[in-house]
Amino acid sequence: MPSYSRIVKDGLWDNNGVFGMILGMCPTMAMTTSATNGLGMGLATAAVMAASSLLVAMFRGYITQEVRIPVYILIVAAMVTLVDMTMNAYMHELYKVLGLFIPLIVSNCLPLARLEAFAAKEPVLPSLADGVFMGIGFTLALTAIGAVREIIGSGTLFADAHLLLGPSFRFLETQVLPHDTGVLVMILPPGGFLATGMLMAAKRLIDLKAGKEIKMAGAHAV
């Protein structure tokens, strides 16, 4: 079993879901047109990941190899549906912002990958920790990508944050560039890929500066 500090470091930085494992790319691209969107999607995903990791770690003794994948997917899908319905009913304002994104979490391959790689093998508490920190790492990555795209693309940062986090978070909303300036392409599909690629290179630069041996993820092939 990996140590908790390893779990935290892996989830947040070293083996980050987006920049390290390159998984969960679909919401990463689709939901990062603004930092707020990225944050919201990230939080919802983190919740689902934590819950499903916990459940899988608890039940894994009862699951056979052959039906493993359907059961894991079932668990994720059920958690997602649960979150979806509950939010719709009791956190409606938040749901109106996030509602569209939530069903998409099912098809995010990051939760499933973590279930297979971690929760299916490790005890309950570390699995929960892995789910939580992988989720937070994912949230951070999405927020960072969203921030880059939003600043360059629309000149704002955390616009509409109050819709997600409540009116007390209005202070986050900043106008970075003059009103209505922005390089539109950044909030269109090409900008998503571009921001991700750039941030990935930036992470590599930081690792390099920190003297870490860089992990050339897949670099052997490209």
Partner 1 sequence: MLFAVGSLAVMGATLGTILGVASRYLAVEENPLEQELQGLLPGSQCGQCGYVGCSQYAAALAKNEAAVTLCTPGGKAVAEALAKKLGVTADLSDHEEKGPEYAFIDESLCIGCLRCTQECSSDAIVGAPKQMHTVITDNCHGCSKCFKVCPTEAIKMCKVPVTLSSWHWEKPDSPHAHVH
Partner 2 sequence: MTTAYTDKSGPFTHAPSSVAKTMATVLAALLPATLYDAWLFGWPAIFLFLFTIAACMALEAATLAAQGKEWRVALSDYSVVLTGWLLAMSLPPWAPWWVGLIAAVFAVVLAKHLFGGLGQNVFNPAMVGRVAVLVSFPVQMTAFVAPHPLFAAASPGFIDALGITFGHAFHFDTMTAASALGYVKTELTKGVPVTQSMPGLMGLVGGARPGSFGETSAPLILAGGLFLLWRRIISWHIPVAMLVTLFVLGTVFHAANPARFTDGTFQLVAGASFLGAFFIATDYVTSPVSKPGQLVFGCGVGLLTWVIRTFAGYPEGVAFAVLLMNALTPIIDHHLRPRAFGRTRTGAPLPLKGGK
Partner 3 sequence: MKDIVLLIVGAALVNNVVLARFLGLCSFMGVTTKLDTALGMGMATTFVITVSSMADWAIEKFLLVPYDLGYLRTVTFILVIAAAVQFTEMVIRKVSPALFQTLGIYLPLITTNCAVLGVALLLVAGQYNFVESAVFAFASSLGYSLVMAIFAGLRERIALAEVPMLFAGPPIGFVTASLLALAFMGFSGMSTN
Ligand X SMILES: Cc1cc2nc3c(=O)[nH]c(=O)nc-3n(C[C@H](O)[C@H](O)[C@H](O)COP(=O)(O)O)c2cc1C
Least Å from the CB of residue 4 to partner 3: 27
Question: What x/- string results for residues 108 through 127 when contact with partner 3 is judged by CB under 8 A?
Answer: xx--xx--------------
Residue sitting closest to ligand X (CB): 181
Provide φ and ψ at 53, rounded to 5°: -60, -45
166 binds partner 3 (CB under 8 A): no
* Binding region for partner 3 (CB under 8 A) out of 1-9, 46-54, 62-70, 123-131: 62-70
Q: Where does residue 35 rank: exposed (0-12), middle (13-18), buried (19+ CB within 10 A)?
A: buried
d(CA 104, CA 117): 21
Of 143 and 156, which CB lies nearer to ligand X in the complex structure?
156
Residues 173-212 that bind partner 3 (CB under 8 A): 185, 188-194, 196-198, 200-201, 204-205, 208
Both structure tokens of 153: 């693309």
Residues 1-40 that bind ligand X (CB under 6 A): none
182 binds ligand X (CB under 6 A): yes
Least Å from the CB of residue 106 to ligand FES: 10
Contact 104, 26 (CB under 8 A): yes
Contact 152, 183 (CB under 8 A): yes
DSSP 179: T
